[in-house]
Structure 1
Amino acid sequence: MNSSLQGKVVVVTGAGGGIGRSVALAMGAAGAKVIVNDLGVSMSGEGGDPGLAQRVVDEIRTAGGDAVANQDSVSTWNGAHAIIQCALDRYGRIDAVVNNAGNLRDRMFFKMNEEEWRSVIDVHLNGTFFISRAAANHFKDQESGAYIHMTSTSGLIGNLGQANYAAAKLGIVALSKSIALDMARFNVRSNCIAPFAWSRMTSSIPSATPEEQARVAKLQKMEASKIAPMAVFLASDAARDVSGQIFAVRANELMLMSQSRPLRSVHMSDGWTSESIAEVAVPAMRNSFFKLERSPDVINWDPI
């Protein structure tokens, strides 16, 4: 056990399995007191195992750490506040939040219904806002705190059949940057991790074609535990000057992801018309257009 988080209290949502479980275990091993939050439901929000969170708590305690289970929902204002209150009631403070809880309703955009859209937005984007907002005043008052949000290359780059998930995950990036800007004066930082790992979230990836099967085989080699060190670092005082960034973690590889900035600029002294845009502006910018690519098309080398 190291002591990089000694004395800190960390909430990890969706911590009953996969990446969340690994992050919670690593936080405990680093000396943090951990709120292990998980509803214990399936990726579709049904059934599941309500004992998931408690089993992770038992693992942390067996290893010599301190943790408590929580089963409130991140997808409601009251549920999110109850999760943060759990930390305050048990340990008297909150120092870091890992927004990891997630669900999936994969469907091609032209077939996606309202429930499939809203359920994913509610858990990922609304849930990240609700938990972050619930912790904000406590961070502000103590003039310290760290937010770690899970985003995805589905939002940063793109993927098929994930309009709801991609929109939520890119929204989280914008939310994280806004939090970083608004909370900087209080020494509170906010960063994103785009994880590559085999988990319940990725086990639904189609594998019908040889190409899809090859992609799944690569993902299965990426252990969820590889994400945890970056989360521990971002929660620690060693990351005191790191905020507003997006990191990708892929097996033993770390990436700093780009953020939107102007690529080209064209000027017309008399102002633009739709015709001059078609004749002058677009041809001038076309070489800088982004291709219609998916995440595996861009990050297409084998994991290290």
Structure 2
Amino acid sequence: MGVLDGKVVLVTGAARGIGKECAVLAAREGAKVVVNDLGGGVSGGDSGDAGPAQEVVDEIKAAGGEAVANSDSVSDRKGAGHMVEQAMDEFGSLNVVINPAGILRDKMFHKMDDEDWDAVINVHLQGAYNVARASIQHFRDQEDGAYVMFTSTSGIIGNIGQANYAAAKMGVAGLSRIIAMEGAMKNVRSNIIAPFAWTRMIATIPVKDEESAKRVERMKNAMRADQVAQLAVALSAPSDVSGQIFVARGNELFLMSQPRPLRGMTRMEGWDPTSILEHAFPAMKADMPDLGNTGSVFTWEPV
């Protein structure tokens, strides 16, 4: 018996990395899986290839599971609709969408091309919208559905050179939260994961100094895609957890805070720019998050 017995799961970007590990584990836990992958490169510029998704399907079937391949792009609205239709045609239902599909186009913001911005937003934010919008009514009608979306510490904490990626991933966080709120009465859940894992995407991040080289090496050796998949599949299984942000880092799991007031100040006669600068900002300074990146927050070695 698996935690996903009788469920049908769509996994995007499932030919490699986190997506593949999610698809394989979901099948092992009893799900029938639609393995989606465009088959393109990390930058998203390729025309695509159905072969990689089919290889994962073959692996699942060889282990006794059930799966079908899909090579549509999450950035294409009609393609996302076809993924849902394929699940219904092949397996008669759809219960879970796991959506780690993504690309990277890293560049300092003042040097960023419109094309690099649009490409990342289209795959990550528009892609999350497309697959969720294509499936949400089905989930609400059957009063059963779970989304496992993917954000990034590049968004919720910050990382230099990833303004496009961070903006998209923060957008996914907002989307997931609203889907969870609106879906609560219909047993439709949505959660997001910020993963630490060595993948093709992580391998493209430039290593410019000794500190970043050490950080990348830690990720490669101690933080694996299959560890992230354990959390993704757990969030796919029936539970009352919804609207949350998690971090998966090696053998560590973190429930992340969400924006709430840190410090409030009242001035009965009202505020003006001078009083804000002289009184409000200095009083709030100690509670203001600094401009450190992920490494300044997760300062210890992964467990």
Q: Is this a same-fold pair by TM over 0.5?
A: yes
Residue 50 of structure 1, CA deviation: 3.2
Identity of aligned residues (%): 52
Contact 1:157 1:294 (C-alpha < 8 Å) held by counterparts? yes
Q: Where does 1:37-116 land on structure 2 (aligned, <5 Å)?
A: 37-47=36-46, 49-116=49-116
Contact 2:143 2:187 in 1 (8 A): yes
Task: State the distance in 2 between where 1:164 and 1:298 align.
Answer: 21
Counterpart of 1:250 in structure 2 is: 249
Equivalent in the alignment of 2:212: 212
| Aligned partner letter, 1:54 | Q
Query: 1:286: which partner in 2?
Result: 285
Within 5 Å, give how 1:1-304 maps onto structure 2.
2-47=1-46, 49-221=49-221, 222-237=223-238, 240-304=239-303
CA contact (8 A) 2:49 2:71 kept: no
Give the whole-Å Cα distance in 1 for the aligned partners of 2:191 and 2:288: 28
Partner deviation per Cα, 1:169-200 (whole Å, 9 max, x = no partner): 11111100000001111011000011100001
Structure 2 residue identity aligned to 1:249: A
| Range that drifts further, 199-208 or 119-128 | 199-208
- Structure 1 position 284, deviation (Å): 1.2
Query: Which deviations, in whole Å up to 9, do the C-alpha atoms of 1:34-54 show, x marking residues without a partner?
Result: 000000000112346431100
1:41 touches 1:50 (CA, 8 Å); kept in 2?
no
Gaps of 5+ in 2: none
Instruction: Provide the TM-score with structure 2 as the length reference.
Output: 0.97
What's the offset of the Cα at 1:83?
0.9
Deviation per CA, 1:192-246: give whole Å up to 9, x if none.
Answer: 0111000011001222321121011101011111111111111111xx2100001
RMSD: 0.9
The question of whether the paired residues in 1 share the 8 Å contact of 2:50 and 2:70 is answered with: no
Q: Distance in 1 between the 2:185 and 2:152 partners? A: 28
> Secondary structure in 2 aligned to 1:157?
helix
In 1, distance between residues paired with 2:291 and 2:249? 23
Shift of 1:275: 0.9
Task: Write the distance in 2 (CA, Å) between the matches of 1:9 and 1:226.
Answer: 21
Measure, in 1, the Cα distance between the counterparts of 2:82 and 2:49.
Answer: 21
Q: Aligned partner of 2:27: which letter?
A: G
Unaligned runs of 5+ in 1: none
Contact kept, 8 Å, 2:5 with 2:30, in 1: the verdict is yes
SS of 1:110's partner is helix
Tell me by how many angstroms 1:270 deviates: 1.3
> Between Structure 1 and Structure 2, how many residues are aligned?
301
